[in-house]
Chains A and B, each alone.
Chain A
Amino acid sequence: MVEGIDLQRSFVELFSGLGIDPEVARVMWMPLPMLAVVTIATVGALAATWLERKISAAAQQRIGPEYAGPFGLAIPAADVVKLLIKQTVVPANADPLLFVLGPVIVFISVFLSFLVIPFGENLVISNVATGIFLVIAISSIAPIGLLMSGYSSNNKYSLLGGLRAAAQSISYEIPLALAALAVAMMSNGLSTVEIVEQQAGWGILSWNVWRQPIGFIIFIIAALAECERIPFDLPEAEEELVAGYQTEYSGVNFMLFYGASYANLFLSALLVAILYLGGWELPFPIDKVAELLNIAETNPIWQLIAAFLGVTVILLKAFAFIFLAILLRWTVPRVRIDQLLDLGWKFLLPIGFANLLLTAALKLAFPGAFGG
């Protein structure tokens, strides 16, 4: 395996060259990836809100935001400012500590998962061996935050909404994990980087979506339900529960919920891209192109171009999923809570198991094509 771009090493070398202790340079490097992750997640979520507005408007044959900035691009920033300067109201007799802590837990559990999302060969914060398992484990903390905020609001509807949201989140986690497990089985590892590398080689032909079509569909449905997107937006369905667990929230606390939900959508989109659509791999094998053009793989300029293309491609794939999610919002009616739980437990779960068995059988039968 050829070492690609290693930003940390270059950074440390640069500062060591300036006469700074390498240890100190490493400490100086530490906050940068964290900042980068928070920035990427935030910008992705803000872009998702803007897209939501624009595509919704197009679906309803209106224009959508256009005055704030070109094409209304400044609207997400305006949203943030508006929510920041709003007053934070804590209801009377509510539990103030849990009330504030609930949205924070939801927010952190989403943003923490971005640690293992790779945007390129070396553009990942920590390439841990338990990558995709870690994402699933961390996202299972979110229901505690939902329950906490539902309970502490001192409101029957919020409590019920919190319980419903947690129930939905738990019941769709299992099909999601089963779908991810089938992919992990094929790529002989849980690391997100390994999963993408296993899909390299033949360009679009070697993406997991062709080998895991059932798992792909299960994952998309479960991811939509995890993000509480229409048609599974029951926790905050306007007509039924008056915005569920977030009824009493205002100002910054509401922004945490809102931001976490869009960051979660962005995260799910990135996961779909990594697990099934080949991550940062282009639709054509880029190594072969390099060979054809007679460029060495260690050429720095070529590596820069390849990394840039990779980041662009993974973002394109992710935003294609977000586009799909927004289109679904305007084309599919909402389900009821009993239909939602039926779908999760009686339909997706057995199919997920069947898919897992099928993958195992195919892996034993065709070890070449299914990662033996």
Chain B
Amino acid sequence: MKLAQGVEIVSLLVLTVMVVAAALGVVLSPSIVYAAFLLGLVFLGIAGMYLMLNADFVAAAQVLIYVGAVNVLILFAIMLVNRRKVYREVKLGAVRQLVAITVCVSLFALLLYTNLNTVWLLTPEVKALPSVIVALGQHFFNEYLLPFELASVLLLVALIGAIILARREFIPDRQVENLELVERPKELIGVGEE
């Protein structure tokens, strides 16, 4: 299977470049709308990665939830809250950036260390699974039933709470509307004088 391997490597390369470039764009782009659209591209790339790892259900769920729901929500928030604010110069801005760089580099070093010092290949042979849905359902309704149900109850509580918070209580102010036309009395034009 030379062909399949070649396709795999090429798609992995394309996906990696796409995810890294889009993620950099999210952080570095000055336009917040561009950043949000690029975030969608990052999520799509991650979905492609899942697909390459033989996790078709997770990939579809990733597209549905992250691209279809989370990213659209972010876009809605950005487009509805359109406040232009001029940012002031922050004192000690350089120190801030230095701290950020230190944190990022150390995090990257940690990840790199973990990556290089872990034996990733658990099984010597890789089997192509038919599909993960059946196994997923069995796990959800056997040993992970309680966490699953708890998560759904939590989400329901959050949903209802959000609705309660978002619902505006209308306090009717009983102002009698003035139905008269607001109009300045016009001066009559003299007719027939001089």
Residues of A at under 8 Å CB distance from B?
23, 26-27, 98, 128-130, 133-134, 136-138, 140-141, 143-144, 147-148, 151, 159, 163, 166-167, 170, 173, 189-190
Contact = CB atoms under 8 A, between A and B. Distances in A.
Contact of B64 (A98, A137, A190): A137
Interface band, chain B: 20 to 34
A147 B79 contact: yes
A144 B69 CA distance: 10
B60 interface: yes
B71 A144 contact: yes
Contact of B72 (A134, A143, A189): A143
Nearest to A128: B56
Given A129-B130, A144-B72, 19 more contacts: A23-B2, A128-B131, A129-B56, A130-B133, A137-B68, A138-B63, A140-B68, A140-B69, A140-B72, A141-B44, A141-B67, A141-B68, A143-B68, A144-B37, A144-B71, A170-B68, A170-B69, A173-B68, A189-B133
Contacts of B72: 140, 143-144, 147, 166, 170
Nearest to A129: B131
Nearest to B82: A159
A197 to B, nearest CB: 16
A159 B64 contact: no
B58 to A, nearest CB: 10
B18 interface: no
Contacts of A144: 37, 40, 67, 71-72, 75
B27 interface: no
Contacts of B71: 144
30 contacts: A26-B3, A27-B3, A98-B33, A98-B37, A129-B57, A129-B133, A130-B56, A130-B57, A130-B131, A133-B57, A133-B60, A137-B60, A137-B61, A137-B68, A140-B63, A140-B67, A140-B68, A140-B69, A140-B72, A141-B63, A141-B68, A144-B40, A147-B72, A147-B75, A147-B79, A151-B79, A166-B72, A166-B75, A166-B76, A170-B72
Interface string B46-63: 000000000011001101
B52 to A, nearest CB: 14
Q: Which of B60, B69, B76 has the most C-beta atoms of chain A within 10 angstroms of its own C-beta?
A: B60
B80 interface: yes
A23 B3 contact: yes
Nearest to A26: B3
A87 B76 CA distance: 31
Contacts of B37: 98, 144, 148
A130 B60 contact: yes
Contacts of B40: 141, 144
A206 B3 CA distance: 43
A127 B57 CA distance: 14
Q: Which of A128, A136, A147 has the most C-beta atoms of chain B within 10 angstroms of its own C-beta?
A: A147
A159 B76 CA distance: 11
Contacts of A167: 76
A190 to B, nearest CB: 7
Contacts of B63: 137-138, 140-141
B76 to A, nearest CB: 7
B159 to A, nearest CB: 12
Contacts of B133: 129-130, 189-190
Q: Which of B2, B61, B63, B131 has the most C-beta atoms of chain A within 10 angstroms of its own C-beta?
A: B63
Nearest to A159: B79
A23 B2 CA distance: 9
B185 to A, nearest CB: 38
A128 B51 CA distance: 12
A252 B178 CA distance: 53
Contact of A134 (B2, B3, B44, B60): B60
A222 to B, nearest CB: 15
State the 6 A-B residue pairs at the shortest beta-carbon distance, nearest first: A140-B68, A129-B131, A137-B64, A137-B63, A137-B60, A147-B75
A133 B63 CA distance: 10
Contacts of B130: 129
Contacts of A163: 76, 79-80
